[in-house]
Structure 1
Amino acid sequence: MFKKMLTILISSLLIGNIVAWFSGAAPIDFKKIDYSKTEVEQLEFLTAELGEDQSDPELMLQLGQLYSYHNEINRAGELLGAAYQQDPQNMLIKASYFSNEGKLAGAMFDPAMGLYKLFRLRQAMNQVDEAALQASSDFDVRLVRLLTFSFVGEVSGHFDRVFEDEDWFIPLIEKDTDAFPTEVRQLVYLALANAYRVKGQDNRDELNIALDYFQKAESLAECPNTMQDACEQLSQVVVTLGEA
């Protein structure tokens, strides 16, 4: 039972980095995000559980996700890669593994002037999309895609999927709000707010949609620690619209 609850908690985390996942040949610095007290407890529990059963792909997935969301991407890559090798038909593992691969692509130095880096990123993003297409009714898999493409942006090659996922998530959440944890609903709103911020640029209508989603997210809970950069950027939208 505790393991099941832990999965839900970890699923409420997110890749919350407002950084370009592709910036030419130079490595991107994914700064480590501090763990909260609850997350430290999750980390200790998962590490102990995995120590007792080192072949459990679900435990590898959960611990790997936790590392990835806090930008320990090399550790995450090892665990998620091992989980994917063991269970390649698990679409949540596949989506999580290749989402982290996108970060690893961004963090690498590419002597080919960024061409290989872009190729590696696009290949990873294609796999994230494929996982979500194969598990189109799976909330968690589609959430990974939404969060990933929202923050990778146009360079993912699949940015339009964010708005397809919007059409899937919003009616589902609004139909039965109580069925989804507050943290999960908040993350959907923050991801969509960021996507409209990226899409909008100087388009006031798009920025107003971003602001609306951001205010919905703010009304639910404080900004999660993995999303501080995103919340700061979205707060700027509020200032910009207020000054316009």
Structure 2
Amino acid sequence: MLAKKILSFVAISFVIGNTIAWLSGAAPIDFAPVPFSEADKQMKTELDGVLSVEPDDVDAMAWLGSLYSNHNHLDEADAVLSRALTLQPEDPLVLAFYSANQSKKAGAMMDFSMGIYKLNKLQDAIDGLNKAVELAPQDMFVRISRLITFGFLGDINSDFDKVFEDEQWVMEHLTGSNVQLPNEVYQSVYVALANAYKVKADSGEQSALVRSKDYLNKLEPIGGCPDLSLTECQKLTRELGKS
């Protein structure tokens, strides 16, 4: 089956989520496109090939849409993921990837209602990620999608604390299984959690700074800041006084 073939490929090459540097208010956030690596180009070619043969392959659409979103090609991601969601509206992985991309699109838009419309669109994305986890609480990539998105949304998200539920689940399953994901996945998870604990520290919970620094320290033996989260990772490193 082509779907199984592509999922096997993605299991080797999967790179999850770019960071979400959300700001409150109406001003649009600039999600600058991130260049595709050779591995990403190969993945895109493989996914395009699957869809040329099976244009309604929802699995391939989900991963292609996520790839576009990771590299901040938000409109291309939206087109692919919207179609996948139309075909299978209850597919948790599609819903997670679609909602994560929608959170970026909400941040990127210009809002002439002083941010109210943006926040409504953001809440729709938050609700979508929560629903995806409810539908598939044991799906690693669904959980990681919510963890990374919520980790970078911070306390503008009324469900921010769910990132720590996902932290517990993800970390237990990453350490308690034989599954070995690419370093880029671990890097993105660690940066998102470092940011989440920095948010807690900024709200007055100073002990959270230790956890934030601990997660940044985990990056060092696996390649440092990831390319897809480079700006936010470097910003955190400066703010926490790390070299």
TM-score, shorter chain, exceeding 0.5: yes
Structure 1 unaligned segments of length 5 or more: list them.
none
8 Å CA contact retained: 1:10, 1:66? no
8 Å CA contact retained: 1:211, 1:237? no
Is 2:85 the partner of 1:84? yes
Cα shift readout 1:71-130 (whole Å, capped 9, x = no counterpart):
000010010000011011210101111111111111111121111111111121111111
Is 2:35 the partner of 1:37? no
> Aligned letter for 1:3?
I
Higher deviation after alignment, 219-228 or 27-36: 219-228
> Aligned letter for 2:219?
A
Q: How many Å separate the matches in 2 of 1:190 and 1:121?
A: 21
Structure 2 unaligned segments of length 5 or more: list them.
none
How many angstroms does 1:203 deviate by?
A: 4.8
* Root mean square deviation, CA, Å: 2.0
Q: How many Å separate the matches in 2 of 1:77 and 1:45?
A: 19
Is 2:128 the partner of 1:127? yes
SS in structure 1 opposite 2:39?
helix
| Structure-1 residue corresponding to 2:94 | 93
SS in structure 2 opposite 1:181?
coil
TM alignment of 1:1-244, pairs within 5 A:
2-9=5-12, 11-17=14-20, 19-20=21-22, 22-176=23-177, 178-183=178-183, 184-201=185-202, 203-239=205-241
TM-score, structure 2 length as denominator?
0.90
SS in structure 1 opposite 2:110?
coil
Higher deviation after alignment, 7-16 or 96-105: 7-16
TM-score, structure 1 length as denominator?
0.89
How many aligned residue pairs are there?
A: 238
Higher deviation after alignment, 45-54 or 92-101: 45-54
> Aligned letter for 1:187?
S
Q: How many Å separate the matches in 1 of 2:182 and 2:10?
A: 15
How many angstroms does 1:2 deviate by?
A: 4.5
Percentage identity across paired residues of the two chains:
34
1:169/1:215 CA distance change after superposition, 3 Å: same
